[in-house]
């Protein structure tokens, strides 16, 4: 059984297919049709709902894509839909959409309203960047964004008052009572099962009893097998309720990120210690995706175009893998064996990722190349960690880790390019040698996102951009200069 609140009303479900998405549940079981299906892949935001969870004795509200959220993930949470906002009169975010003429056909409007509701609950004062981040996961095809942005801006700084804030204590008590039961969420229907363990011990037991089970966290990729490929998933084990996997620890020498940590919750730490990593994560899906997608899922998925693995590889991060009573630590670059294949053993899961802290002379840069700036799949992602030392008045490369995604069947280092740099001066001549060496490191493929030739040239250019970015802007030379001297192919 799973238990949750639909607005303020308790719900208990047992006989429902675990493959059911939250969107399907709302429309087909609760007949709440305000939430729309657009893309069924987490891109357009028409299906946006808001999930409430107790954090520090208050309800924290986060927007998610209901089209790719599986029903079992609701256990112990509050689900808020667009129908729940109106309480005798329009909610402030609904009213401002009316006042600013932010809706025409209305198909995308419920999703925008729910994203604005999330903004309303989380930010009393915000800037244009905050506004863009909260609305970036919603598409509108007829109104144009300006009236919607104007609606968002009208909420800035105003006093917050709605039924959710008024009922906060009651909701906290209700959710706390659900979570205090510490019961494992369970669904079973026509041979398909869903488990939601709340501890690592329960997880290991369930994995031992169900060796063919699929592990899910945010389901931002796995759910596409249901919604896009029309596959049926058998046994699922949900990791989102395991507190041990959602911890971040900052120590003197490293930062440990639990495999269940979401992109959004890690942003403050990444911004402080690896700012380029944080900037890339802000482009990795919309806020609805980042609110549920996890680092362990992004690594474990083993996609050659996953955006976080090249960053972890460049930073020389390690994975902690657990099976039964055994724990092992491996370099993250050794985790990837072949296309979509990893070194995970039977019954083993990713527990955490350990990232060394940057040293004072370590340059770390990340570059994501995609057709859209935000919320798009990378054609090439490059992450560079270069250790520089001063020697006799010159700057030399003491160490280099150049990692790429989208250039091979796995995220991979450009080791020939690294060797071409190490020991040489950090100047354009050395960088040009490394750029040439990249050709021998990769044989990229052509697909709908980019040709092999484009990927190879971009991979070279990004290394040169890293070199330029390591200096003050007034000292930057154009790429034409390096080509004119015959240093680049």
What tens digit of pLDDT does each residue of 44-75 get? 999 999 999 999 999 999 999 999 999 999 99
DSSP state of 438: H
What pLDDT is recorded for position 104? Answer: 80
Kindly list the distances between the CA atom of residue 19 and the CA atoms of 24, 225, 252, 253, 401, in Å, as whole numbers in the listed order.
10, 10, 43, 42, 41
Q: State pLDDT tens for residues 90-109.
A: 999 999 999 999 988 889 99
How many whole angstroms separate alpha carbon 19 and alpha carbon 192?
8
Kindly list the distances between the CA atom of residue 276 and the CA atoms of 10, 202, 267, 364, 366, in Å, as whole numbers in the listed order.
43, 37, 11, 7, 6
- pTM, two decimals, is 0.93
Q: State pLDDT tens for residues 316-367.
A: 999 999 998 899 999 999 999 999 999 999 999 999 999 999 999 999 999 9
At a CB cut-off of 8 Å and minimum separation 6, what does 70 contact? 18, 19, 20, 21, 22, 194, 216, 219, 223, 236, 238
What pLDDT is recorded for position 489? Answer: 46
CA nearest to 410, candidates 454, 443, 386: 443
Across 402-418, average pLDDT? 97
Q: State pLDDT tens for residues 368-408.
A: 999 988 888 999 999 999 999 999 889 999 999 999 999 99
HSE, side-chain direction, 13 A CA sphere, residue 470: 23
Longest dimension (CA), the chain: 75
Across 419-437, average pLDDT? 96
Average model confidence (pLDDT) across the chain: 93
DSSP H stretches of helix in 29-162 = 92-99, 109-122, 128-135, 145-154
The percent of residues above 70 in pLDDT, for the chain, comes to: 96
Strands (DSSP E) found in 146-267: 185-189, 192-196, 214-216, 235-238, 248-250, 254-258
What pLDDT is recorded for position 486? Answer: 44
The percent of residues above 90 in pLDDT, for the chain, comes to: 85
- Dihedral pair phi/psi, residue 290, rounded to 5°: -65, -25
How many whole angstroms separate alpha carbon 281 and alpha carbon 293?
11
Q: State pLDDT tens for residues 310-321.
A: 999 999 999 999
Q: State pLDDT tens for residues 260-305.
A: 999 999 999 999 999 999 999 999 899 999 999 999 999 999 999 9
If you write DSSP's letter for every residue of 330-384 in order, what string do you get? EEGGGTEEETTEE-PPTT-EEEEEEEEPPPTTEEEEEEEE-SSSSS---SEEEEE
Are 450 and 456 in contact, with CB atoms under 8 Å apart?
Answer: no
Q: State pLDDT tens for residues 229-266.
A: 999 999 999 999 999 999 999 999 999 999 999 999 99
Q: Count of CB atoms within 10 A of residue 415's CB?
A: 14
184 pLDDT above the threshold of 90: no
Across 106-115, average pLDDT? 94
What pLDDT is recorded for position 97? Answer: 95
C-alpha 210 chain-centroid distance: 27
What pLDDT is recorded for position 472? Answer: 59
Q: What angle do CA 137, 139, 142 make, to 5 degrees?
A: 160
Torsion 91-92-98-102 (CA) sign: negative
If you write DSSP's letter for every residue of 135-167 in order, what string do you get? HTT---SSS-HHHHHHHHHHTTTPPP--HHHHT
């Amino acid at each position: 059984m799973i238990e949750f609140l639909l607005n303020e009303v308790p719900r208990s479900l047992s006989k429902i297919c675990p493959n059911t998405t939250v969107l399907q549940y709302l429309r087909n079981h609760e007949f709440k049709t305000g939430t729309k299906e657009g893309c069924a892949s987490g891109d357009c935001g028409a299906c946006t709902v808001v999930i409430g969870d107790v954090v520090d004795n208050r309800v924290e509200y986060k927007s998610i894509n209901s089209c790719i959220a599986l029903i079992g993930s609701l256990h112990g949470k509050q689900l808020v839909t667009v129908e729940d906002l109106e309480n005798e009169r329009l909610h402030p975010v609904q009213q401002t959409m009316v006042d600013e003429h932010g809706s025409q056909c209305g198909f995308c409007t419920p999703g925008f309203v729910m994203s604005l509701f999330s903004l309303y609950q989380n930010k009393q004062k915000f800037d244009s960047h905050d506004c863009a981040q909260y609305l970036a996961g919603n598409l509108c095809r007829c109104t144009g964004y300006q009236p919607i942005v104007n609606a968002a801006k009208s909420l800035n700084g105003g006093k917050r008052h709605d039924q959710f804030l008024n009922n906060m204590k009651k909701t906290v008590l209700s959710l706390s009572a659900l979570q205090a039961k510490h019961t494992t969420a369970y669904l079973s229907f026509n041979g398909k099962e869903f488990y939601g363990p709340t501890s690592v011990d329960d997880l290991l037991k369930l994995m031992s009893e169900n060796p063919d089970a699929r592990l899910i966290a945010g389901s931002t990729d796995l759910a596409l097998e249901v919604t896009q490929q029309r596959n049926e998933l058998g046994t699922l084990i949900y990791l989102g309720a395991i507190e041990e996997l959602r911890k971040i620890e900052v120590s003197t020498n490293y930062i440990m990120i639990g495999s269940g940590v979401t992109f959004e919750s890690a942003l403050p730490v990444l911004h402080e210690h690896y700012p380029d990593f944080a900037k890339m994560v802000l482009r990795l899906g919309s806020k609805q995706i980042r609110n549920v997608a996890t680092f362990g899922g992004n690594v474990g998925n083993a996609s050659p175009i996953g955006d976080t693995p090249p960053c972890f590889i460049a930073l020389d991060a390690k994975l902690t893998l657990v099976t039964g009573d055994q724990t092992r630590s491996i370099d993250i670059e050794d985790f990837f064996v072949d296309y979509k294949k990893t070194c995970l053993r039977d019954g083993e899961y990713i527990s955490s990722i350990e990232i060394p802290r940057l040293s004072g002379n370590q340059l770390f840069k990340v570059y994501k190349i995609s057709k859209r700036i935000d919320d798009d799949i990378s054609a090439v992602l490059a992450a560079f960690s270069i250790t520089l030392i001063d020697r006799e008045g010159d700057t030399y490369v003491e160490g280099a880790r150049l990692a790429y995604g989208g250039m091979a069947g796995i995220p991979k280092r450009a080791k020939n390019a690294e060797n071409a740099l190490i020991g040489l001066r950090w100047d354009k001549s050395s960088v040009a040698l490394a750029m040439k060496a990249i050709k021998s490191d990769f044989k990229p493929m052509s697909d709908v996102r980019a040709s092999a030739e484009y990927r190879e040239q971009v991979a070279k250019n990004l290394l040169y951009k890293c070199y330029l970015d390591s200096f003050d802007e007034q000292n930057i030379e154009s790429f034409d200069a390096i080509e004119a001297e015959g240093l680049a192919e």
